[in-house]
Chains A and B, each alone.
Chain A
Amino acid sequence: MNDESFEQFMAAALPGLLRFGHVLTGDRHRAEELVQSALVKTYRRWGSLRHDQPTAYVRRAMANTYTSWWRSARHETAMPPGFDAAGRAASPYDERDAALRALATLPPRQRAVLVLRYYLDMSEAEIADTLGCSTGTVKSSASRGLRSLRDRLTDPAVEGALS
Chain B
Amino acid sequence: MSAPVTDPIEELLAAALADARTDERWAIAPKAQALTAVRRSAARRRTATAGGALLVAAGVTAGISLAVGHDPAQQTVIQQPADGDTQPHAVPGVEPEWTPTTGSEWVLDKPAYDDFVMTHILPSPAPHTVRSPAPMTDASGRLLRDVVTGLPADAATARQDAPNGLAGAAAIHVRLADGTPVEVERMQLQEPISTQINGDAPARPTTRRDLRTGSVLVTIAGALYGWGPDHPGGANVALVVTPTGQYTFWAAPVSVPLSTVASWAEAADRG
- Residues on A facing B (Cβ under 8 Å): 7, 10-11, 14-15, 18-19, 21-23, 27-32, 36-37, 39-41, 43-44, 64-65, 67-68, 70-78, 80-83, 92-93, 95-97, 99-100, 103, 105, 109, 114-115, 117-119, 121-124, 131-134, 136-137, 140-141, 146, 149-150, 153-154, 157
B249/A19 in contact, CB under 8 A: no
- Of all chain B residues, which has the CB nearest A89? B12
Given A77-B199, A146-B7, check contact A44 B27 (CB 8 Å): no
A-B contact pairs, 30 of them (CB 8 A): A10-B35, A18-B29, A18-B30, A27-B200, A40-B38, A40-B118, A65-B122, A68-B122, A73-B223, A75-B197, A75-B199, A77-B199, A78-B200, A82-B25, A92-B15, A96-B15, A99-B16, A114-B17, A118-B17, A119-B18, A123-B1, A133-B127, A133-B129, A134-B128, A136-B132, A137-B129, A146-B9, A146-B13, A149-B13, A150-B9
Q: Is B191 an interface residue (CB 8 A)?
A: yes
Roughly how many angstroms separate A71 CA and B127 CA in the complex, as a whole number?
12
Roughly how many angstroms separate A149 CA and B13 CA in the complex, as a whole number?
9
The 8 closest A-B pairs by CB, nearest first: A96-B16, A75-B199, A18-B28, A118-B17, A119-B17, A80-B25, A137-B128, A99-B16
Kindly identify which residue among A18, A37, A109 contacts B117, using a CB–CB cutoff of 8 Å.
Answer: A37
- Residues on B facing A (Cβ under 8 Å): 1-2, 7, 9-10, 12-21, 25-31, 34-35, 37-39, 41-42, 45-46, 117-118, 121-122, 124-125, 127-129, 131-132, 164-165, 185, 187, 190-191, 197-201, 223-226, 229, 237, 247, 249
Given A76-B201, A118-B13, A140-B132, check contact A23 B20 (CB 8 Å): yes
Contacts of A117 in B (CB 8 A): 1
Contacts of A14 in B (CB 8 A): 30, 34
B127/A100 in contact, CB under 8 A: no
Kindly identify which residue among B28, B45, B121, B128 contacts A19, using a CB–CB cutoff of 8 Å.
Answer: B28
Contacts of B35 in A (CB 8 A): 7, 10-11
B121/A41 in contact, CB under 8 A: yes
B45/A28 in contact, CB under 8 A: no
Contacts of A137 in B (CB 8 A): 127-129, 164-165
Roughly how many angstroms separate A133 CA and B131 CA in the complex, as a whole number?
11
Contacts of B187 in A (CB 8 A): 71-72
Given A39-B38, A99-B12, A157-B229, check contact A75 B185 (CB 8 Å): no
